[in-house]
Structures are given as structure tokens and as C-alpha cells.
Amino acid sequence: MEISAKLVKELRERTGAGMMDCKKALQETGGDIEKAIDYLREKGLSKAAKKAGRAASEGIVDSYIHSNGKIGVLIEVNCETDFVAKTPEFKAFVRDLAMQVAAASPEYVSREEVPAEVVEKEKSILRAQALNEGKPEKIIEKMVEGRLEKFYKDVCLLEQPFIKDPDKAVRDVVNEMIAKLGENMVVKRFVRFEVGETTG
């Protein structure tokens, strides 16, 4: 099975494992990224994943109010110890994530949180768009998958380009912080309020 460089890169970003190890893991698991993560963890090759299994039950809830008072964010980010939760680096990191939510307005933490019916609805819209553009049937599925990736980057916090360094996804920044502070970290939840916004 041919494994794309994009898939290898994504697995590498999510696990911190080496390029060849990532490629082998994807080949062994038929290109299934979640199974590949498990494969790397079983082999003890994933740095971030080694920490990902550890309980993150400490952490902080932070708030960010945009300077004009029109946008507010509450976010909970967990780590393993109260010691790390109290460090200036962790607090600054959580503040950056709160600012990210305020600026980029994600709806979910990760792609795994997006309900299946939302994904299916998006796929059918994207399929209809491709058909309306007169694209041949055989490339429509590839187009839908490509555009679905863009959808995830719009609505999922961890997939979004990081506002302070758009070359990195928020997930990469989380993994860097895990490596730097030596503890598992989990963005648990967030809520974003905007004046005049209707809910539901």
C-alpha cells in the first residue's frame, strides 16, 4: 500500500516518532492513523503518545476577554500535576489557546469530537458542490476528502493553524509543550461567547 507523505507527516506530528517508524506503522496498519498511533505506542516508539496514556487530572481553567469586551472565552486545559499547572509556561500556553479560540472561533476541540452526522452533512454538501462544478465522478471523492480536511482546520481547535505561528497546527504546539514540560496535556473543553450571537 502506498502511504502518502502527508499521512506520515501527520502521524509524526501527533506522536513525535521518527519518519521511518511512522511510515512502517502506517504500512502495518493499512494507513489507519489511529491504529498506527496504537502500533507506535505498543512498540514504545511514540514520545508524545508515551505521555498520552498518562492521566491528566490537574490543570487550569482560564478566561480571555477580547479588548473590546465583545468576545469572551473560558477554556480548561489539563496536565498531570499541580506543579506544572502553576508554572508560568503552562499558564501562558493556556492563555494562548484561549486567544486562539477567541480569534479563530473553533467549534470542537478535535476531529474526533465532530459528530458523525455533521461530517456526513458536510460531505454531501461538498459532493454537491463538486458535481455542480462539473467535476468527473472519479475525482469527486478525492476532492471531498481534501475539502473535508479544510473543514476540520476551520472547526477543530487542534487542527487550526496556530495564530502565533501559522506554519504549525495547534496540535503541534500542544505536542511541543508536552515535550518541553514532560507531562501529558489535554485540551478538555472550551466555550466562546460573542455579543449578539444567537445560540442553538
Specify whether 19 is located in the same domain as 31: yes
| pLDDT of res. 17 | 73
> Can you give the pLDDT of all 200 residues of the chain as single tens digits?
678 888 888 887 777 777 778 888 888 888 888 888 888 777 665 555 556 556 677 999 999 998 788 999 999 999 988 999 999 999 999 999 999 999 999 999 999 999 999 999 998 898 888 888 888 878 888 888 888 999 999 999 999 999 999 999 999 999 889 888 888 899 999 999 998 876 54
Kindly report the three-state secondary structure assignment for every residue of 143-192.
HHHHHHHHHHHHHEHHHCEECCEEEEEHHHHHHHHHHHHCCCCEEEEEEE
| pLDDT of res. 2 | 78
User: Is 200 domain-assigned?
Assistant: no
| pLDDT of res. 156 | 96
Specify whether 44 is located in the same domain as 9: yes
| pLDDT of res. 79 | 92
Specify whether 26 is located in the same domain as 45: yes
| pLDDT of res. 45 | 56
Specify whether 102 is located in the same domain as 65: yes
Which value, to the nearest 10 degrees, does the dihedral of the CA atoms of residues 61, 154, 185, 14 take? 180
| pLDDT of res. 88 | 95
CA 150 to chain centre: 12
Kindly report the three-state secondary structure assignment for every residue of 23-41.
HHHHHHCCCCHHHHHHHHH
CATH of the domain at 62: 3.30.479.20
Number of C-beta neighbours around residue 51 at 10 A: 19
Number of C-beta neighbours around residue 180 at 10 A: 11
Specify whether 21 is located in the same domain as 95: no
pTM > 0.85: yes or no:
no
| pLDDT of res. 44 | 62
